[in-house]
Each structure stands twice: as C-alpha cells, then as structure tokens.
Structure 1
Amino acid sequence: MGRVIKYQGDTTMEIRSETVARLKAFARGEVTWAEVEGMTFEQAKAIAQVGCDLAAAGRYEEARVLFEGLVEGNPKDAASRAALGTVYQKLGRVQEAIAEYNAALERDPRNPVALANRGELYLRQGQQQGFTDIANAVEADPHGETVAGRRARALVKAITLVAVEKMKEAKPS
C-alpha cells in the first residue's frame, strides 16, 4: 500500500490528481479508505489470514488489532466484521461481538460465521432469535464446509436431542 500524502523535503506536500479524486470519493462515501490507499483484495485477504492464525493461536488481542484495522479500512467487508466479532466474542466483549455480527449480516445475510456465532450468543442470553440464527447458519452452509457451519449443525443436533428428552420426560406414562 502506498501512502496518500507524499512528503518532499521538510514542508512541501504533493497529492496526485487521482489521489485527490479518491479522497473526494471517500468524503462522499463512494469508496472505502482501503480503496483510497489502494489495498487489493489479495492484500486484505493476507492480513485477514494472519489475523485468523493469531486467533487460532489464542493471540486474540493481536488478532483484534488486525481485524479492527481491516474493518476501519473497509467497513463493508462482511467477512472481516464477522471475524472481528469472533475475536470480540473470544475476548468476552459480547455486545461488541453482536454489533459486528449484525454489521456483517447487514452486508451478507447468509454469512455462516456471523449467523452461528450470533446465534450461539443469543441462545446463551435466552433469546429465541438464536434458534433462527443457528438454523440460518446451517442453511447457509448445508454441507458444513466452514467451522461455523459445522458448529451450527452440532448445535442443531444438541438442541434437538435436548428437546426430544424433554418431550419424553413430559409424556405421561
């Protein structure tokens, strides 16, 4: 990524005309800061992968910094928002996690990570919406291709088993 403002000497700044156009587009809300800076999808994906690796290693604070940067640069990126929500969830920052999952789902209503994780949080809070989110996560990833999709499927099975047991207990003998 290049810097938007190039310094020449002590005080002279040069801003290229295409940069001015990108800055104006940013001010109008037409492009993200990542686009102003010229960040490519591949660069963002590489940073996200490092964030995922850090989170997998239990280095949540470092992963948080990377994902917050990605979200700040491109708030439209549903995958980064869902990943940031996951990191917040791991850090016990439940309300911030839910806010990120909500933002991810505004952009991508079938994001299995956001659906499964928000569903799990809602279930822990006793909210019925959790069942809907989990069911939607399974529908979004019917073959369990993602960790979130597999976890959602496992939650559906566990919920079903508990419901069947409760029905058996409630049945008159």
Structure 2
Amino acid sequence: GPEVSSEQLEKLLSGEASFQNFFNLSDDVLLAWANQGYFFYQQGKYDDAETIFKGLVTLNPKIAYYHTALGSIYEAKQDYEEALIEFNKALEIDADDICALVNRGEIRLRKGEVLEAASDFQKGIKLDEVNIQKQRQAGEKINPDPAAQRARALSVVTYEVLKEIEKKVKETQGNG
C-alpha cells in the first residue's frame, strides 16, 4: 500500500502541511465540497452541512471561511458555545471576516455581553463601509454585506440596551 514518509508525517503533525496537501487535493475540489455543504446549510440539512465543513476544517484548518461556515451551522443548531469557538478560530485567521464578526456579536448579545457584541457589530460595519468605498471608487455596483446589514440593525438595539444600563448604573450610584 501507499507509504507515509516520516518527513510528510512530521510536516502534517507540525501544522506546516495540511491534510489537503497530504492527500494532494486541489482547492477546486475543496471548493466543490464547500458549495455542497453550503447548499445543505441553506436547505436546513444542518447535520449533513456539519459533516462536510468538519471535514473541510480537518483538511485545511487555515481557511477562515470553513470555520465561519461551521460556526454558522452550530449557531443554527443552537449550539452557541461550539459556534463561538469556530467564529473565534475564523477571526484568528482573518480578523476582517465580517460574517464571523457579526455572528459572534449575535451570540455575545444572547449571552448578555452587550459591550463585546457592540464592538463586533461596529467592526463589521466599519469593514463593510471600507468595502463599499472601494466599490464606489471602482465604479462597481454597491453591494453591502448582508451580515453587516444585520449588524447595522443590531447595533441600534445594543446601543439602546447600553443606554438603559448606563441610566440604571447612574440611578444606583445616585442612591448611595
């Protein structure tokens, strides 16, 4: 059968090479799998989508999109802790991943971490505004990120919540 050289194994275990390199799979093959996974996700077949994206994350853990997709699947399954882990991994790889930022913000908001959520939303909106500016300069069709659009709506909510908290804190301090 096929042999595994110690050099190949070392590269794989050290994280220098991915399983994708190891099995000599092209980016096109992984993209086709990702598209299939996304299709399952859109159909609400979360278990099938999860299986595919878990595989993709294993094959190449350095691609932020795979972690973001997996996080979105966990979020849809209401497994918020796992979702948070994946969004954090995605953002370690690509700090400008708008979808990961906004989704993480939504989970933080759920957990009552309002300031952290607001920060994620603001960052997502800022990144989107930079992209829109680039589109405008290039004379392209303006195409706001759907996640950033959600963040715009949610940041209004978080702002209101923060103002309420601030008011309560001031009232409490006033009673001392």
Sort the TM-score into its range (normalised by shorter chain): 0.7 to 0.9
- Partner residue, 2:172: none
Q: Residues 147 and 39 from structure 1, CA distance in 2 versus in 1: closer, same or farther, beyond 3 angstroms?
A: farther
Give the number of equivalent residue pairs.
153
CA displacement 1:110-152 (0-9 Å, x = unmatched): 1011100000110111102010011111122224643322222
More contact order relative to length (CA 8 Å, sep ≥ 6)? 2
Q: 1:69 corresponds to which letter in structure 2? A: G
Structure 2 gaps of 5+ residues are 133-142, 169-176
Deviates more, 1:66-75 or 1:38-47: 38-47
1:152 aligns with 2:151: yes
1:55 aligns with 2:41: yes
Q: Residues 87 and 14 from structure 1, CA distance in 2 versus in 1: closer, same or farther, beyond 3 angstroms?
A: closer
Secondary structure of 2:16's counterpart equals coil
2:122 to 132, 135, 143: 135
Q: Post-superposition shift, 1:159? A: 4.3
Q: 1:136 corresponds to which letter in structure 2? A: K
Q: Post-superposition shift, 1:27? A: 2.6
CA displacement 1:77-102 (0-9 Å, x = unmatched): 11100100000000011000000000
- Partner residue, 1:103: 89
Higher-helix-fraction structure: 2
- Partner residue, 2:74: 88
Q: Residues 141 and 31 from structure 1, CA distance in 2 versus in 1: closer, same or farther, beyond 3 angstroms?
A: same
CA displacement 1:3-25 (0-9 Å, x = unmatched): xxxxxxxxxx243xxx6343332
Q: Give TM-score, length-normalised by structure 2.
A: 0.77
